[in-house]
Amino acid sequence: MVSIELKGIITKVYGRNLFTYTLHDGNLATEFLCTQFFQPGESVNVLCRSEEKFGRTVLIAEKIEKCNDIYSEIEQKIGQNAKLFALLSDSELKIMGSDFEKIARKLYAAQQLERFIVVKFHGDADGISAALILKKFLKANYFQQNAAIYSVGDAIKDIEKIGQYFRPLLIMVDFGSGEDSSRGLALAKAGEIELISIDHHPPSEFSVLSFALSLNPWNAGYEDGSKYPTGFLCAMLANMFGIDSEGFEKIACAGDKSTILSISNEEKNKALVLDFAATYSGFGNGIDFYLQVLSKNELFNSMLMQANVKLEEADRILKNNIKSRSTQNIEIFWFNLDSVAEKKEFPNKGKITGRVFDLVNSNKPVAVIGISKKTLIFRFNDIAVSKGIRTDEIIKQMKNNFSDFIENGGGHAYAAALRIKDPTTYSNCLLKFPKFQEGFENIALEEIIKIITAY
């Protein structure tokens, strides 16, 4: 009789009275049988004997006991064993090489250890494309996140649902980096959910504290990290595993208007259809729906047609409603979003603001502001940004000047959004500033124009 000693993490268990376990020791996964019950994720020491059973050799535990938690040790060993391809040496993101490698090794180990992995992806063309690329090499539960913010409510739901699994891993794709997500993130972390961020939105110092790892070009000191969409980052990650991203990163670029890759009309249409489909798709939707949309010709074409009809309708209303003011430094355009945008309908406020931007953009500095009762949306051109007139800067100043009325806000240098509270609900404020009766959005607009023209 041969005795074998094993030490590692239990990754799988099934059976009833006689349990079949899979144990990973960092190099190998081994199966053994045992009558005692242990949870997946537990660190154990096992002494097994090998026996001929059911026509094959099986290992049966003679002695088994829990040992000190050796999870990190095993995770590291497995991660080191991952066979990865190096990032392309001519890649612009080469200086992020070690960030890519750390994430790749962590994901590989998580997968080998059968951890419970959840991928939450932003519900737009970039977020969806990124998740579709991840799905090619990462077995996980994929859920759509419609808001760009990871709220306290999101965190509590996650702790309730996924916190019960052993070492749950939550990957935030294309959202959750802003300061407005920091409280939700801190809560999820405290709830023992390990958090990974793959994103290209400027990260706030408070959010970063909650991430075990993050893959974000801003962290590597790029002046404009936003121009590398999340789908592009995921494609590079896939390549490290030798997986072909099949061009989804181009759809991501089309969706986020990034010019780092050349984009065909077909890819633009795909991005449009994904944005269209995501608008109508409920919270918590999985990812398979989008694969169907992209692969079924008739469905795809019908959605493309409807999206274009909606955009043309929006253009018609917008053309007569754009107001503008020119100064020496910049041309400012604004328009009322509420006249076009309908709740939960395509195009959403961000997309509409993008349309107006395309209509008025020129080779001079241009700032476009979409105004609605609760939200202000900004889209500035790169000439404005190069002069330091950045949407994220405007938002920072607005947060300072009107801290009582700004609910949250954030975004990239070229595009950002600000949510405002209704000041008419503050009676004190109305006494102090009777002008607020006319609507805060107008006062906010005046203030923003003041800030922009001061540059």
Residue 249 engages Mn ion in binding (rule: CB under 5 A): no
CB of 175 to Mn ion, least distance (A): 8
Query: Quick one: 59 or 173, whose CB is closer to Mn ion?
Result: 173
**Minimum CB separation from Mn ion for residue 178, in Å?**
12
Q: Which residue has the tokens 């202000």?
A: 376
Of 183-191, 238-246, 254-262, 368-376, which segment contacts Mn ion by CB under 5 A?
A: 254-262
Burial class (CB in 10 A: 0-12, 13-18, 19+), 70: middle
Angle between the N-to-C axes of helices 391-401 and 440-453, in degrees from 0 to 180, rounded to the nearest 10: 120
Cβ-count burial of 189 within 10 angstroms (0-12 exposed, 13-18 middle, 19+ buried)? middle
Touching Mn ion, residues 256-275 (CB under 5 A): 256
Binding mask 202-231 for Mn ion (x = CB under 5 A): ---------------------------xx-
- Of 119-127, 211-219, 423-431, 445-453, the window that binds Mn ion (rule: CB under 5 A) is 119-127
State how far the Cα of 365 lies from the Cα of 437, in Å rounded to an integer: 33
Size of the site for Mn ion (CB under 5 A): 5
**Structure tokens that stand for 207 in this block:** 């959010």
* C-alpha span between 376 and 368 (Å, rounded): 10
11/279 with CB nearer Mn ion: 279
Residues ≥6 apart with Cβ < 8 Å to 397: 451
Give the nearest residue (CB) to Mn ion.
126
Nearer to Mn ion, 144 or 230 (CB): 230
- The minimum distance between CB 260 and Mn ion, in angstroms, equals 12
Stretch that binds Mn ion, among 43-51, 172-180, 234-242, 353-361 (CB under 5 A): 172-180
- Asked if residue 194 binds Mn ion (CB under 5 A), the reply is no
Question: Residue 246: which region, alpha, beta or left (left: phi > 0; alpha: psi -120 to 50)?
Answer: left
At residue 173, the 3 state secondary structure works out as strand
DSSP letters, 200-264, are -SPPPHHHHTT-SEEE-GGGGT-TTGGGS-HHHHHHHHHHHTT---TTHHHHHHHHTT--SS---
> Please, are residues 69 and 8 in contact by the beta-carbon 8 Å criterion?
no
| Token reading at 70 | 């050796």
**Minimum CB distance to Mn ion, residue 187 (Å):** 24
Which of these ranges, 13-21, 40-48, 169-177, 345-353, lies near Mn ion under the rule CB under 5 A?
Answer: 169-177
126 binds Mn ion (CB under 5 A): yes
* Of residues 230 and 375, the one with the C-beta less far from Mn ion: 230
- Residue 339 has a CB neighbour count (10 Å cut-off) of 13
Q: How far is the CB of 375 from Mn ion (least distance, A)?
A: 18
Is 162:118 a contact under the CB 8 Å cutoff?
yes
Task: Tell me the closest approach of the beta carbon of residue 106 to Mn ion, in angstroms.
Answer: 22
Closer Cβ to Mn ion, 75 or 174, answer by number: 174
| Cα–Cα dist 225/92, whole Å | 11
CB of 250 to Mn ion, least distance (A): 14
| Min CB(158)–Mn ion separation in Å | 21
Min. distance of Cβ 87 from Mn ion in angstroms?
20
- Residue placing its CB nearer to Mn ion in the complex, 197 or 230: 230
Q: Contact with Mn ion (CB under 5 A): which of 154, 174, 331, 441?
A: 174
Q: Quick one: which of 417, 286, 295, 301 has its CA closest to 351? A: 417
Q: Which stretch binds Mn ion (CB under 5 A): 41-49, 252-260, 319-327, 425-433?
A: 252-260
For residue 367, the surrounding DSSP H or E stretch is strand 366-371
Q: Which among 125-133, 145-153, 176-184, 275-283 is the span making contact with Mn ion, rule CB under 5 A?
A: 125-133
d(C-alpha 376, C-alpha 378), whole Å: 7
**Which residue, 11 or 353, has its beta carbon nearer to Mn ion?**
353
Shortest distance, position 36 Cβ to Mn ion, whole Å: 48
The residues of the shown chain that bind Mn ion, judged by CB under 5 A, are 126, 174, 229-230, 256
